[in-house]
Structure 1
């Protein structure tokens, strides 16, 4: 992401700017950040995840959408997750119906330039969304998914890690199972960008 320092503005100004823009930008704390395009593998994995989740959610009140939908956090981050799931009626920041505020599941497919941000500042912002129960961080360099999920008793977030094409991600809060063989269907890992950081240790709390 590139910071457009000269574009410092309010959230309302950002939305007006973004709705007129031909390219996507994230927004946080008065600053606008240009979003770079993803690689072929990034796009393929993102589409696989969205398709598999949609298939699993058939017949439920939940819907999965891709990266064209903007999401806003209570902390003021406006961003475009790779996959967003909401359940029941969607809620938006205004009548334009293009900035969701009540996601249940968010998915980010890692890129070398965004990994620290996706695991750090962005996840910190996502944890402030009261409706959110699950966050998936999906590698594009190898078959690996980190699943963060909210523990109901105390609200802490726990981590489960999955690796290998035989593994399956169990998203109990939505009653779905996502095989890594489907998430990575058609992926040539030799053409993928390497992951700069090792996966987090399962069992961690946040």
Structure 2
């Protein structure tokens, strides 16, 4: 592979996942992509509300199940040198065990939710969706479009392939791997 200008500039040295996870961004949010740090802008009220609604629905529904939802503070490693911060992710097999308390990575999420924005709409549907689908432990990736109040559900099939469907305006989100359904009205609720 030919060297890029970033590869030749020491100011843009690619770093490891371990180095990235040890960095303190002083409250700012960042993702690591192929060893390069990308700072993330804050989200809108709409984005935060929808992510919060999803988290709240999952938290109550999953209590006592061995699965737990997390917000965007918990990272997911999607490649050797790539770390993402999904808006909401669900981990199973007792993720809140004491040995995981200080970890910033606890394996692969079973379910990932990304709330789309104008600036991330295409990128999340192409790049991040492919990364999440490549994780062996991920069963569903759900993309939520606040502008159009649409939901795109991508689910792993028993044969290992994937199905992808935009839900209709009256359809709730069924998450087969968790055996639960989230009412659409609760995802987009404004109260």
**TM value normalised by structure 1:** 0.79
Structure number having the greater helix percentage: 2
- Show structure 2 runs of 5+ residues with no match: 1-5
Matches for 1:36-185 after TM superposition, within 5 Å: 36-90=41-95, 96-153=102-159, 155-164=160-169, 166-185=170-189
3-state SS in 2 of match to 1:148: strand
State which drifts further: 82-91 or 20-29. Answer: 82-91
- Show structure 1 runs of 5+ residues with no match: 188-206
Deviation at 1:57, TM superposition (A): 1.5
2:15/2:81 contact within 8 Å kept: no
Moved over 3 A (4+): 5-8
How many residues end up aligned between the 2 structures?
178
3-state SS in 1 of match to 2:178: coil
3-state SS in 2 of match to 1:135: strand
**TM value normalised by structure 2:** 0.85
